[in-house]
Amino acid sequence: MVASNTWVRSNASQAGMSTGKRRERRVLIVDDHPIVRQGLRRVMENEDDLTVCGEAETARDARTAIKELNPDVMIADISLKQGDGIELVRDVRAHYPNLPILVLSMHDETIYAERMLSAGANGYIMKQAASEQFLIALRRVLDGNIYVSEAVGNNMIQKFASGGAYVSAN
């Protein structure tokens, strides 16, 4: 690993090595907790089509990493050191309109998922989701689609169908 300030770049991606049968998609992980970044890296390391190209723990470092690493997707938390994920998503969407963004957060999806999609995210998944569900969400976003949980999707559809009035799931 080569560190630059607090964002980290993967040696394999620097060298352009490819071990998979399918084209590797380059993933930037933005989270202020090292253990979360390490866990996400572990989840993806056995996947032929995914490689972590870098990590960042602040919004500022994320912006630098995007510019220097040119990832295929960014995974970002809402809560970050020195900034917040909502502003990061808005800023990234404004400057990199084609970069898919998956928000991975501990914050309640019924409150934040729609906000993050409105800010420019392509998907929202809770940190307590199973790793298989995380991979489904990541690939869906990489394929140009939207990902939210079934419950959030149903609430959004009900809201739309009722003319925009919030419909409680209770």
Encode pLDDT of 80-136 as tens digits. Answer: 888 888 999 999 999 999 999 999 999 988 889 999 999 999 999 999 999 999 999
* Backbone dihedral region for residue 124 (phi beyond 0: left; psi -120 to 50: alpha; all else: beta): beta
Between β-strands 123-126 and 83-84, what pairing exists: parallel, antiparallel or unpaired?
A: unpaired
| 3-class DSSP state of 125 | strand
Encode pLDDT of 26-58 as tens digits. Answer: 999 999 999 999 999 999 999 999 999 999 999
Q: What is the pTM of this model?
A: 0.82
Closest CA to 154 of 141, 170, 142, 140: 170
pLDDT band at 74 (very low <50, low <70, confident <90, very high): very high
Alpha-carbon distance values, 152 to 34, 125, 126 (Å): 28, 10, 11
| Torsional sign, CA 101, 64, 31, 88 | negative
- Compute the distance between CA of residue 66 and CA of residue 48 in angstroms, rounded to an integer: 22
The pLDDT value given to residue 1: 36
Tokens of 6: 């607090």
- Compute the distance between CA of residue 23 and CA of residue 11 in angstroms, rounded to an integer: 17
- Beta carbons of 81 and 57 less than 8 angstroms apart: yes
